[in-house]
Amino acid sequence: MAGGFAEAGADLELQGITKRFPGFTAIEDLTLTIPAGSFFALLGPSGCGKTTTLRLVAGLEDPTEGRILIGGKDVTDTKPYQRPVNTVFQSYALFPHMTVLENVAFGLRRRGISDPVGKAHEALRLVELDHVAQRKPAQLSGGQQQRVALARAVVNRPALLLLDEPLGALDLKLRRQMQLELKDIQADVGLTFLHVTHDQEEAMTMADTVAVMNKGEIEQMGAPEELYELPRTAFVANFLGQSNLFTGSVIASQGDLLTVDIAGRKLALPRQRAQRHAGEVTIGIRPEKLILHTTAPVEAAGTNIVGPGRVTDVSFTGVSTQYQVAVPGLGQVTVFAQNMVFGPVVNVGAEVWLTWTADHTFGIADDPATGPRFEPDTDTKTIALERRERLEAELDEA
């Protein structure tokens, strides 16, 4: 049993964690250190293994291989109720047969902490829900339930707080509000937060460090800005925000500048921002870094130019306008232009050139997968057969 409250957050160390389920491997050789007191986000698409990682840390699953250390102590073989870890579940998992107050006091009572009721009230005041202490969870709204779940976890002052996509069920406005509140609480109380989510905006807003996870492995980890402005793989480049990726060969390498030939155009990028320095490379530029020109721009050092191309789509999104530009040899290029004036800067069919500062270019380590635009539909027969096989497997098991 974890004794007393943690004074502050603790380090989390995952060493060589592998988790295999019958039929597939969820996590392959994961090694990760989360420093104490930080707000860490584990970001990735569904099925990438992030929730499994969370459950391993909580003790709700056992790793097939590897060790887990919290605050330097090996907790791999301990049960969940023995670890100084608390979880805010995606579905909140508030006990429906207890009042809000009893829910929050539950962990305190199990650990024999003195004055559980007083401390529970304190935690509820922290999330501004002390006035509903006597209600049952079913009588609260989604946002209120989420805050109670948070209070129930935080009241135990765990060394490590795990959040499993806790904001998924909230509407946009409430989600934004809760993101700020969570950040405040974390900073106030000084706990280590491990937040699992598939929402990249959420991860970048709240976390000090973001790790992007794909197919059981961490592709890149670092501060949000670092990941966004310098993605190292095509997956990260496309998962965090949008990217324009172009493939070409390196034709020159002088000093700290690389020059890449893409469809006849010579584009430059700083050597430090490139993962590969020779041969076929893929470079990228974020859509908001591109500038539209309606006349051929003048060549200048430190500026990359592509074009001319034709505008194929204009979409108004409130803050910005998105343009799709078809550039021969490059394909479709996406441009975000902040709406400084009313109306689009150019219309569909216009001939435009695109420029950007070379320093903003990044070079990734792999190639974008050249898959088709839509996954080819499986025909109905195959779907039916797959479904039947699955049912038969279930029946066999049962």
Spatial CB neighbours of 308, under 8 Å, sequence gap ≥ 6: 296, 327, 351, 352, 353
The encoded tokens of residue 276 equal 């590969």
Q: Provide the CA 365 distance to its chain's centre, in angstroms.
A: 20
Buried b (16+ CB within 10 A) or exposed e, 299-326: eeeebbbbbbbebeebeeeeebbbbbbe
Question: CB 89 → another protein: shortest distance, Å?
Answer: 5
Looking at beta carbons only, is 140 or 283 nearer to another protein? 140
Instruction: Report in angstroms how near the CB of residue 167 gets to another protein at its nearest.
Output: 16
Q: Report the nearest approach of another protein to the CB of residue 105 (Å).
A: 10
Least distance (Å) between residue 150 CB and another protein:
13
Whole-number Å distance between alpha carbons of 60 and 62: 7
**Structure tokens given for 254:** 């002088």
Work out how close the CB of 30 gets to another protein at its nearest, in angstroms, rounded to a whole number. 21
Q: Smallest gap, in angstroms, from Cβ of residue 138 to another protein?
A: 6
Q: Both tokens of residue 160?
A: 């490590």
Smallest gap from residue 190 Cβ to another protein (A): 21
* Of 71, 82, 62, nearest in space to 17 by CA: 62
Cβ closest to another protein, residue 298 vs residue 395 = 395
**Residue number, 79 or 390, with CB nearest to another protein:** 79
Q: CB of 268: closest distance to another protein in angstroms?
A: 52
Compare residues 51 and 355 and give the one whose CB is closer to another protein.
Answer: 51
Q: Look up residue 75 and give its two tokens.
A: 């907790």
Residue with tokens 């492995």: 217
Closer residue to another protein (CB): 135 or 265: 135
- The answer to whether 37 and 191 have CB atoms below 8 angstroms apart is yes
* Contacts to another protein by CB under 8 A: 1-2, 58-60, 79-81, 85-87, 89-91, 93-97, 106-107, 110-111, 135-136, 138-139, 152, 156, 398
Q: Decide whether 86 or 197 has the Cβ nearer to another protein.
A: 86
Query: Shortest Cβ distance from residue 88 to another protein (Å)?
Result: 9
Query: Which residue lies nearer to another protein by CB, 194 or 352?
Result: 194
User: Where are the alpha helices (H) located in 244-297, listed in sequence order?
Assistant: none
Q: Which residue has the tokens 């569909």?
A: 348
Query: Token pair of 346, please?
Result: 């150019």
Our CB check for another protein shows the closer of 134 and 357 to be 134
ω into 372 cis (within 30 of 0): no
What is the residue whose two structure tokens read 């898959």? 371
Contact (Cβ atoms closer than 8 angstroms) between residue 42 and residue 195? yes
**CA 193/CA 187 separation, integer angstroms:** 10
> 62 vs 313, which CB is nearer to another protein?
62
* Cα(252)–Cα(255) distance, integer angstroms: 10
Q: How far apart are CA 151 and CA 123, in angstroms?
A: 5
